[in-house]
Structure 1
């Protein structure tokens, strides 16, 4: 599976642009601010129907325009698939396969899997639980459409229940039966999602540890501990008894939206005790494990997007990456770099076909 070509209209700083890619290695070079990351984000958007950077779709529209469009052609199992995504300001996003809109956009997720490694990936370690849940939910969503549907439904009901709790707090009155119409399905979904996350992390952990051992040359032990109050065995009762706390807080204070994944190195939190190099190795192992698990389940190599990572990797890690490309560990690879001469020198060792794209400042129409 690979992305053969892409066309952009009014996507971020691109007014009109088209690119035809190599099925192997694509190197996108240019000055900082020229739009290299935006091109990677367009590929990510086409694969997952959302940006890796902006949570609001409208933020991806060129500031001087009323709409944006991304159109691309994937090749998968000897067939071509045209995917088109368009957004009009003030209207819902439209995603099409072969010019026919998807009934549910979630049906698209996982069809053309992608893994992104970016400079700010260490935020997974440094920031709060939201970032770690978002990572693992993203991996699971590409692997399992049932999980994605459960997760989306949970968030919809959670939002409705929170709105109801605010109304109850404002009126100083609680309709217990009405609250139950949201609480009961939320608990059922929480238990299902917990089981899916628990099973996933049990499968993910040995693969992650294998990749970390390779990257770090076995220097230290690492661990991921999945923490969830939903797995206590008494969660349905605890959730029900907590409703007065929820009314006072005007939000749902228990559930799988409070889960966390604790990252450890040598039995200590890597956030506090891990060096920069150890943290980078930890995140790289997370991404490589993500790649391997998706490849195994989908029986196809995900596209690998490497955004400006050469500044963040030492020579040993860069050499390991090049070896992986030469060993056909990856399928289609996209690499961005602001220093073309460095990229060319690194990729001289790559035996695969390498295609270069230079993004020039004149592509840029507005800051984004």
Structure 2
């Protein structure tokens, strides 16, 4: 699977833009503020029907249009219209978030990911991405749980405790399904990590689900807020048996995150889903030796890859797209 071209109108710093891409490695280079990350976000938006940079982006957007063509088993024409009434079309038909993520799998490695890496919500979401590869319906459980938790906040305000207890049964059922998938994903990730050779250290995921009981239910009613949520589970990432967020350098943390992303890419590829890979700002806080290891790993992939750089990354036979300020 690969993105054949993208057409942009009035998206972030882009007024009008068009570019074709190679099915393998595409390097987007340019100075700071030239629009490298914004172009990557446009590509991500086209494939996922949402931004990887800002959830509130649509609130500030007057009118934007993204178009592109993905070549897979067949040709898919995608149109994302961003205004008061957002439209996400695939071959002229409105499609859901699940449709986009199932049809056009993609993996992003960005400075935003690294900034969020130490947050439990991010690492648990990474487990959910592994679950999604084998079980795309897991996204329905997650969306339903988020809706139910939002509704519960409203019920707290109304002090409707009987309905809260009824809703809790559905929430518990959905979260138990998510937790079972997370357990399996943690085991799968550790199998990949045992085979990794980017970092010559032992990396391990330790996951433990948070269990709901009557005590938690009573405590929620007393405090009038949700305690049992999607992100209460415990998860730790160990590097040579030490928690990476307590003992590892910035460079090591970035290498661990890239290794986890590589495991996710391999998991997709084993299931022949061939995700499009987007890598933003890989150079900072990485030694030259480790950067070479990462680029060597990337060069062996058969996926379409987009990499942003200030101009320091050179790869054989890559398509080079140079941006200038005010593109």
Normalization by structure 1: what TM-score? 0.83
Question: What secondary structure sits across from 1:9 in the alignment?
Answer: strand
**Once the 2 structures are TM-superposed, how far is the Cα of residue 250 of structure 1 from its aligned partner?**
2.1
Q: 1:324 aligns with which of 272, 297, 300?
A: 297
1:122 to 82, 107, 114: 114
Query: Structure 1 residue 145 and structure 2 residue 136: aligned?
Result: yes
Of the three residues 162, 179, 182, the one matched with 2:153 is 162
Residue 137 of structure 2: SS of its match in structure 1? helix
2:324 is equivalent to residue 355 of structure 1: no
Residue 54 of structure 2 aligns to a residue whose secondary structure is: coil
Contact 1:223 1:264 survives alignment (8 Å): yes
User: Quick check: 1:158–1:252 contact (8 Å CA) kept in 2?
Assistant: yes
- Residues 210 and 234, structure 2, Cα contact 8 Å, conserved in 1: no
Q: List aligned pairs for 1:270-309, cutoff 5 A.
A: 270-297=244-271, 299-309=272-282
Deviation at 1:59, TM superposition (A): 5.2
Question: Does the 8 Å CA contact 2:28/2:322 hold for their aligned counterparts?
Answer: yes
Q: Deviations 1:50-71 (Å, cap 9, x if unpaired)?
A: 111101241573xxxx211211
Query: What is the alpha-carbon distance in structure 1 between the residues aligned to residue 41 and residue 17 of structure 2?
Result: 14
Tell me, in whole angstroms, the C-alpha distance in 1 between the residues paired with 2:265 and 2:287.
21
Aligned residue among 62, 70, 87 for 1:74: 70
What CA deviation, in whole Å up to 9, does each residue of 1:21-80 have, x standing for no partner? 11121111111011100000111111111111101241573xxxx211211100002x21
- Give 5+ residue unaligned stretches, structure 2: none
More helix by share: 1
CA RMSD of aligned residues (A): 2.0
**Which of structure 1's runs of 4+ aligned residues deviate more than 4 A?**
none
Name the CA distance, whole Å, in 2 between partners of 1:324 and 1:87: 36
The aligned counterpart of 1:100 is 93
Is 1:195 the counterpart of 2:180? The answer is yes
Match of 1:133 in 2: 124
Q: Number of residues paired by the alignment?
A: 327
Q: State how far apart, in whole Å, the 2-side matches of 1:129 and 1:326 are.
A: 31
Q: Relative to structure 1, is the Cα distance of residues 279 and 325 closer, same or farther in structure 2, using a 3 angstrom cutoff? A: closer
The verdict on how the C-alpha distance between 1:175 and 1:280 changes in structure 2, with shifts beyond 3 A counting, is closer
- 8 A contact 1:25–1:354 mirrored in 2: yes
Larger radius of gyration: 1
TM-fit CA distance, 1:209: 3.4
Q: Secondary structure at the match of 1:203?
A: helix
1:275-315 deviations in Å (ceiling 9; x for gaps)? 23321221111110111111112x03211112121233322
- Residue 5 of structure 2 is matched in structure 1 by 5
TM-superposition CA deviations, 1:131-176 (whole Å, max 9, x none): 22233334434553210111111111111112211221xxxxx442
CA distance in 2, matches of 1:74, 1:156: 32
Q: CA deviation at 1:124?
A: 4.3
Q: Is the 8 A contact 2:193 2:203 kept in 1?
A: no
Distance 2:170 2:72 in 1: 38
Change (3 A) 1:175 1:278: closer
